[in-house]
Amino acid sequence: MRTASRFIIVIIFLGVVLGGIFGYKFYQFGQMKEQMSQPQPPAKISATDARTEQWTPSLKAVGSIEAVNGIAVANEVPGVIESINFESGDTVQKGDVLIRLNAEIDEAALRTRRAEAQLAAQEFQRVSDLLPRRAVSQSQYDQAKANYDAARARVNEAEAQLNKKIIRAPFDGTVGIRMVDQGEYIATGTPIVEINMLDPIYADYTLSEKNLADIDTGHPVEVTVAAVPQGRFEGEISAINTSVNPETRTVRVRATISNPDNLLRPGMFASVMTLQPEDKEVVTIPRTAISYNTYGDFVFVVTENGDGKLIVERRTVTTGQTRDGRVAILSGLEAGETVVSKALLRLRAGQKVEIQEGSDQNQEASE
């Protein structure tokens, strides 16, 4: 009997609790319905008008900076470094002496070869004087001439060998960090120092094969690098590769860039803009006015409903290039139409809006 009473009490208690919960939820639903039935104030928005601008069509690509001439200077013959005639970072001219190797043995060998050549010359001269008087045979004359020619060749060989002990700058440029020390023995082919020609300099990049018809040598280019974020380096296309890479279907392009301050260095990552010869009229809006999505980019266009109230309409657009914070609209929007310029996430299609004071659209109207 007690168990049955307790069971009934629990059921009654649970009924009261659940009834209270459902009653409270029903009250909340009624309040929400009442609030939704009341007219909502229009959302405050910032708006701007789409406008036409004259843009120079361009193709954007990434590439790298390359020296017109750039090598690691190395020696052709082994030897001990006798003197170093440059400092790291120096600007050198073609033919400037960079290092000298100890050449005592080669100098002695050259003196020997010159003495041999002098003796051969004297012998040849004597034979030449005797030949007209038939005091020597033609074969003796030919032998003396051959000995003289061979002696002169050995002198030239010794001079060339001696010259290899002097390493010179192969072209005008800037040297990097020295990689050898005075008194060091260096084997054949030891890297001594990097030398690069920095002005002008190359920007190598690739473009899709579909853009081949849009580029030509002489077209202007603009290059930007992370090391100089506010700088733009100008140049022009100097060469286009004669073949297309069959794996990537891209073509290699080379631009020659003016670099008077040596701010661009070989190996830098570069962003390259290839400009077209003629300007083009495009419709543009601020970048903040576009919602980028994987299923399509869209904007909110401000229009009027049947009551003459302002509402927003969601419209899909096709976007093009971005320049100075503005985006070219290829389709979906006409010049003069008003769009919401920012805070798009809080809007929905058909929502009533009010353009707030100080928005871009009001400023443009006042101008």
Tokens representing 331 are 């389709």
Q: Does residue 326 lie within any of the structural domains?
A: yes
Alpha-carbon distance of 166 to 101, in angstroms, equals: 6
Residue 2 reports pLDDT greater than 70: no
Sheet order of strands, 47-49 included: 47-49, 338-340, 298-304, 310-316
Let me know if residue 87 belongs to a domain.
no
Closest CA to 337 of 110, 81, 27, 49: 49
Q: Are residues 271 and 289 in the same domain?
A: no
Cα–Cα distance measured from residue 93 to residue 172, given in angstroms and rounded to the nearest whole number: 4
Average pLDDT over residues 5-26: 74
Both 340 and 306 in one domain: the answer is: yes
Domain containing 50: what range?
43-54+280-366
Please compute Rg for the chain using Cα positions: 42
CATH classification at residue 354: 2.40.420.20
Give yes or no: residues 213 and 357 share one domain: no
Does one domain contain both 108 and 252?
no
Q: What is the pLDDT of the chain when averaged over all its residues?
A: 84
pLDDT at residue number 35: 55
Confidence (pTM): 0.63
Q: What is the CATH number of the domain that holds 137?
A: 1.10.287.470
Q: Classify the phi-psi angles of 98: left when phi > 0, otherwise alpha if psi is within -120 to 50, otherwise beta.
A: alpha
State the total domains in the chain.
3
pLDDT digits (tens, 9 = 90+) for 289-318: 888 888 888 888 888 877 777 888 888 888
Q: What is the pLDDT of residue 357?
A: 67
Identify whether 336 is part of a domain: yes
Q: Are residues 304 and 267 in the same domain?
A: no
The pLDDT score that the predictor gives to residue 358 is: 59
Mean pLDDT value of segment 30-50: 69
pLDDT at 361: 55
266 and 295 in one domain?
Answer: no
Q: Is residue 317 part of a domain?
A: yes
259-277 tens-digit pLDDT:
988 899 999 999 998 887 7
CB 116 within 8 A of CB 152: no
| pLDDT > 50? residue 365 | no
Residue range 115-159, pLDDT digits in tens = 988 988 888 888 888 777 777 778 887 888 898 889 899 989 988
